[in-house]
Structure 1
Amino acid sequence: MTPEDQEERQPLLGPPGSSIPRGRGVFVAAFAAALGPLSFGFALGYSSPAIPSLRRTAPPALRLDDASASWFGAIVTLGAAAGGLLGGWLVDRAGRKFSLLFCTVPFVAGFEVITSAQDVWMLLGGRFLTGLACGIASLVAPVYISEIAYPAIRGLLGSCVQLMVVTGILLAYLAGLFLEWRWLAVLGCVPPTLMLLLMCCMPETPRFLLTQHKHQEAMAALQFLWGSEQGWQEPPAGDEQQGFHLAQLRQPGVYKPFLIGVSLMAFQQLSGINAVMFYAETIFEKAKFKDSNLASVIVGVIQVLLTAVAALIMDRAGRRLLLVLSGMIMVLSASTFGAYFKLAQGGPNNSSHMDFFSMPISLEHLGTSAGLAWLAVGSMCIFIAGFALGWGPIPWLLMSEIFPLHVKGVATGVCVLTNWLMAFLVTKEFSSLMELLRPYGAFWLASAFCCFSILFTVFCVPETKGKTLEQITAQFEGR
C-alpha cells in the first residue's frame, strides 16, 4: 500500500497538517458510554411527571403525600452520593468499562422495583437504586470518555456527557405527557439496556490497560479508537500502580486539581440552579401558561440546545472563557430573579411579607400580574441557558481531565460525592434559607456565589483546551 493510499484510508484528525489519523471507533465508544448519562438524566427527570401521576392514578397504598413526594424526588441525590463513592472504588479496581457495565444493573433493577411497587417504601427503594446508578454513571462516563478521546475532540465528547443528561431529562418530560408512572418506569429501562449491549463490544481505555501492564491490549484498543497509534502519549511509567495515599495530598500535582475539582462541584450547586428549577412550573403558571408540563418541556429544550452549543464550541472557546461567560449570565439573571421577588413583595413595609414564612413558599402569596411574572420567566430562562453554556457541562469535563491517573478514582469519587451532597442540601434546605433571608435575599445570595465562581475561575482554574491529559498533569506538577 502506497503512502497516498494510507492517507486516503485514514484521514487526518484535528487541524490541517496534523499527523494523527481519525478513527471512528472513538465516537462509537463515546456514544455507548454516554448512554449512562442519558439514563442518569431520565432518572432525574422521572420524578417531575411521575409524582403528579402517582397522586392521580396510583392505588391508595402508593399515593404520595407532601412528605413522601419530597423524599421521592430527593432520595435520588443520596443514592447518587453513595454511588459516587462506590464508583470511585470500582473505576480503579475493576476498570472503566466494567464500571459502566455494572451501573446498568441498579438502573434496570431500580426501575423494575418502581414498576412492581406495592407500597411507598418500594417506590423509595427503587429511586435509591436508580440514584446509586446515577452516581456511578456520573463519575465513570466522563473518565472513560476523557481517556479514549484525543485532545482535539476531548471537549466536544466530554461536553456530550451533560448534553445526554439534559436530553434524558427532556425525554422523561416528553414521555410523561403520554405515559403514566408505571410505563414511564418501563421506558427508563431502555437506555441502560442499550448501553449494556453496546459497551460489551467496546474496549477498555488504553490508559487503564497500561496500568494493568496489558500493553498489547492497550495498543489494540488504541487502534480501534483512533485508527492508529500515532499521536498517543503513554502515561509516565511508575505512577499508574502507586494508588492513593494521604501523603500525596502534599504534592501540588494532587492537591491543586483536588481543590479545583471539589470547588467547581460546590460552586455548580451553590449557583441556585436547583432552586430555579424548583420554581419553574409555578413561574410559568403566573405567566398564564395553562399546562405546567409543557413548561417543563420548554425548560428541557432550553437546556438541551444551549448544552449542545457549549459542546460544539468547547474546543475552540476553551473551558475558562465559557465558565466566565456562563457565570456572568447567571449573576445578572439570578439578580433579576431576586428583584422579581422583591417587586412582587411590594416593598419592605408590605404587611403581607410574613406570608413568606409559611413554608413551602408559593408564588400564590405574591399576587403578581402577568407582566411581572414574565420578568421572572425571562430571567429564569436566561439563567438556565447560562448554566447550560458553562457551569452545567464544564465541571464534569474538568473533573475527568485534571487528575493524575494514580489518584483519579478516589479524587473523582470525592468530587461526585461533593456534588450530590451539595445538591441534596441545597434542595432540602433552600426553603429554610428563604425563611431566613426572604426569597429575594436567597436568590441574591445565589448571585453572589456566581460572582465568587467567576473569580475562582479567573484565578484558579487552568485552561485544558488542546492539551493531553499528561500535559495537564505536568502543568500542575510544574514540569
Structure 2
Amino acid sequence: MGPNNRMQYLATSAVSIATMTTSTAAFWSAPILPKFHNNETSISLTSSEISWVVAIMAPGMVAGSLVPSFISDRFGRRFTLLTSAVPFIIGTVFVLWATEAWAMYIGRFLWGIGFGMITTVSSVYLSEIADKEIRGTLTAITRFMSNFGALLVLSIGSYVSYQVLSYFMIVLPICYFLACLKIPESPYFLLKEGKVDSARKALLRLSGKKNEKMVEERLSLMRSDVRREMLRSSSAKELFTGKQYRKAVIISAGLRFTQMFAGTLPIQQYIGRIIQQSNCGLQVSTALLIFGAVRFVIGLISPIIVDKMGRRPLLIYSYMGSFVMLTIVGAYFFLQKVIGIDDESSNPFRFVVFIGIICSIIISGIGYDTLIFIIPSEIFPMNVRSVASTTLNVFTALLSFVAVKGYQGMEDWTGLYGVFWFYASMALSGAIFTHFVVLETKGKSLREIQIELQGNIYDDTDEELKKDATNDDVKENSELNQLT
C-alpha cells in the first residue's frame, strides 16, 4: 500500500465489509434450512413457507437494485452505501423475533433490498475512486471479503444457534456503516453535481498528493470525461432501442439466463437440505465446511485462470463440465428413487452427490459463474454501462426468484433427479448459446469489442459526439490554464 493511495485502500476496506454482509445474507439459508426441517428453531414452517423464505430475497434485490438509480445520482455513492445498512438492520429484527412466516418474509425481503443496493453502487463507487493501476486489486479485495463472508456462514452455521447466526446480520451492517462514515465521496459524482471544489478536496484525499498542479491536471481529465459521458444518452430507453447495443443485451441476458437455471444459486441455497436427502454419509456441518472452503479457494484462483484463458472457450468448457456433473448427480437420485439405494453402509455410490456437486461448483466457479459478471463490463460502452448493470441486476434477481422458489415445486413434482437433470439441460443450452452467439473479448480493447459488436454504427456515433465535445473541451482547458 503506497502513501499516495492509502485512502483508496481504506475506502475499499469499508466497502468490502458491505460486500461481506451481502454474501452472509445470501448463504444464511444453507445452514438454516436443516434447522427448520429438524425443528431446531422457535418458528415452525412448512416446506412451501421455507421455499418462500429462501426466495423472497430476490424481489427485494429487484427493489434494491432500482433504489440507487434515484439515491446515488441525487445524494451520492457514499450516502447510498450508508443507507443500505438500514434494511439489513431492520430486516434482522424481523428475522430474529419472527413467530409467523410473514415476519420472516419481511425480514428476508429487506435483506434483499440492502443486497441490491450494495451490489449496484459498490462497483460504481470503486471504479470512480480507484487509480487504474490498482483498480483490479481493489476489486479483488471486495471479492475476497465476499467469499470470506460465505465461508464464515457455511463454516459456523451448523454449530451455532439460529439466533447467533442471525445476529451477524446486525453486527456487520453496523460495522460498515461506521466505516463508510469516514470515506470520501466519489469525485466523479461531485463533478456531475457541479461541486468542483468538493471534487478537488475528495481527489486530494484519495490521491494523497501534495502537488496541486498534478491534482488540477487529473481533475481536468475527470471533468472532460464527465462532460463527454453526459453528452451521450444513458437511459434505459437508449439501451433497449439502440441497435448498436442489441447484441450486447442478447449476450448478457442469455448468459445470465443459462447460468441461473444451471442451478448454481438454488444448489447453494439448498445444499444443506440436499446433503440430508442424499444419505451420503457426511454430517451436514462437515459438508457445508468443505463446500464453503472450496468456494473460497475457487474465488481466489478463478480471476487468474480467467485472465489466462479465452472467455469463449472457458464458457463452453465450464458449461459442458457442469452438464456432465449435474447429469451424474441426477442419475444417482433417479437410482435412489426408483431402485431404492438408501442403505448408507452398503451403498458404494453414496458420495456421488456431494462429489458431483463440489465438482460442478469448481467448474462453474472457474468458468461461467465468474465470466457472466466480467463479459458485460467489457461489451457495453461507457454511456450505458451503468444502466446496463442496473438492468442486469434486476433481471438476475427476477431469474433467481424463479429458480430458487421453483426448486421446491420442481422437487415435489419430479423428484431431485428431475431437478438436477433440468439444471444439466440448461448448462448444455449455455454451451450451445455461447458457441453460436458469444464473441471472444480477451486481448481486445474496448474499442475493438465495440467495432465487432456494432460495426460502422460505433464509428458514426463516435464522430458525432467528438464534434459536440470539441467546443466544451476547449473552454474547459482555457479555464484550467487560467487557474494554473
TM-score of the pair, normalised by structure 1: 0.78
- Would the aligned equivalents of 2:305 and 2:366 in 1 still touch at CA under 8 Å? no
Amino acid at match of 1:286: N
User: Of the candidates 231, 239, 262, which is equivalent to residue 229 of structure 2?
Assistant: 239
1:32 aligns with 2:14: yes
Corresponding pairs, count: 442
2:89 aligns to what? 108
What whole-Å deviation, never above 9, does each CA across 1:284-329 have from its counterpart, x for those lacking one? 752211x212212211111111011113455454655654443343
CA distance in 2 between partners of 1:150 and 1:471 (Å): 23
Q: Cα deviations across residues 37-84 of structure 1 (Å, max 9, x unaligned)?
A: 21111112223334455664544xx33333332222221222222222
- Counterpart position of 2:242: 251
Question: What amino acid maps onto 2:325 in structure 1?
Answer: S
Question: 2:149 maps to what in 1?
Answer: 168
Q: Deviation per CA, 1:336-371, whole angstroms, max 9, x where unpaired?
A: 22333344456xxx6x8xxxxxxxxxx96x989542
What amino acid sits opposite 1:288 in the alignment?
G
Q: Which amino acid aligns with 2:438?
A: C
Q: Give 2:263's aligned residue.
A: 272
Deviation at 1:475, TM superposition (A): 7.2
Match of 2:404 among 410, 427, 430: 427
| Partner of residue 391 from structure 1, selected from 368, 384, 401 | 368
Q: Deviations over 1:368-405 (max 9, x none)?
A: 95421222222111101122223333323444555445
Q: How does 1:368-447 map to 2 (within 5 A)?
A: 370-400=347-377, 402-433=379-410, 439-447=416-424
Q: In structure 2, what is the Cα distance between the partners aligned to 1:146 and 1:329?
A: 33
Partner of 1:392: helix, strand, or coil? helix
Query: Separation in 2 of the partners of 1:240 and 1:139?
Result: 20
1:42 pairs with one of 18, 21, 24: 24
Quote the Cα distance in structure 2 between the aligned partners of 1:326 and 1:226. Answer: 40
After superposition, residues 54-133 of structure 1 pair within 5 angstroms as 56=39, 58-59=41-42, 62-133=43-114
- Cα deviation for residue 170 of structure 1 reads 2.3
The residue correspondences of 1:170-249 to structure 2 (distance < 5 A) are: 170-215=151-196, 217-218=198-199, 220-222=201-203, 224-225=205-206, 235=225, 237-240=227-230, 242-244=233-235, 246-249=237-240
Of residues 438, 443, 452 in structure 2, which corresponds to 1:460? 438
Out of 298, 302, 306, the position equivalent to 1:306 is 298
Name the CA shift for 1:215/1:402 in 2 (closer, same or farther; >3 Å).
farther
Between 211-220 and 372-381, report the one with greater CA deviation. Answer: 211-220
Q: Which residue is 1:331 aligned to?
A: 323
Contact 1:337 1:379 in 2 (8 A): yes
CA contact (8 A) 1:81 1:132 kept: yes
Task: Measure, in 2, the Cα distance between the counterparts of 1:451 and 1:90.
Answer: 40
Asked if the contact 1:286/1:369 (under 8 Å) is kept, the reply is no
2:19 touches 2:146 (CA, 8 Å); kept in 1?
A: yes
Unaligned 5+ segments in structure 2 are 210-214, 460-484
Question: Cα–Cα, structure 1 residues 68 and 183, in superposed 2: closer, same or farther, change >3 Å?
Answer: same
Q: Distance in 2 between matches of 1:208 and 1:257?
A: 26
In 2, the alpha carbon distance for the partners of 1:130 and 1:389 equals 27
8 Å Cα contact 2:236-2:387 kept in structure 1: no
What is the correspondence of 1:273-292 to structure 2 with a 5 Å cutoff?
273-277=264-268, 278-279=270-271, 281-283=273-275, 286-289=279-282, 291-292=283-284
**Counterparts of 1:89 and 1:136, CA distance in 2:** 11
Structure 2 residue identity aligned to 1:304: F
Structure 1 window deviating more from structure 2 (87-96 vs 383-392): it is 87-96
Q: Decide whether aligned partners of structure 1 residues 342 and 125 sit closer, same or farther in structure 2, where only a CA change above 3 A counts.
A: closer
- CA distance, structure 2, for counterparts of residue 369 and residue 377 of structure 1: 17
Q: Which moved more, 1:301-310 or 1:429-438?
A: 429-438
Deviations 1:388-436 (CA, angstroms, capped at 9, x unpaired) = 2233333234445554454444322221111121111112223544566
CA distance 1:46–1:316, change in 2 (3 Å): same
State the 1:133 CA deviation.
Answer: 0.8
> What's the TM-score once normalised by structure 2's chain length?
0.77
The runs of 5 or more residues in structure 1 that have no matched partner are 1-7, 11-21, 353-362
Quick one: which amino acid aligns to residue 261 of structure 2? L
Percent of residue pairs identical: 25
* Corresponding position of 2:212: none
Shift of the 112–399 alpha-carbon distance from structure 1 to 2, 3 Å rule, reads farther
Looking at structure 1, the residues matched to 274 and 236 of structure 2 have their Cα atoms a distance apart, in angstroms, of 49
| CA distance in structure 2 between the aligned counterparts of 1:140 and 1:103, rounded to whole angstroms | 10
Aligned-partner Cα distance in 2 for 1:235–1:93: 19
User: 1:452 is aligned with what amino acid?
Assistant: S
Q: In the alignment, is the contact (CA less than 8 A) between 2:281 and 2:344 conserved in 1?
A: no
Are the structure 2 counterparts of residues 331 and 48 from structure 1 closer, same or farther at C-alpha, using a change threshold of 3 Å? closer
Q: Distance in 2 between matches of 1:205 and 1:88?
A: 15
User: Given that residues 51 and 408 in structure 2 are in contact (C-alpha distance below 8 angstroms), is that contact kept between their aligned partners in structure 1?
Assistant: no
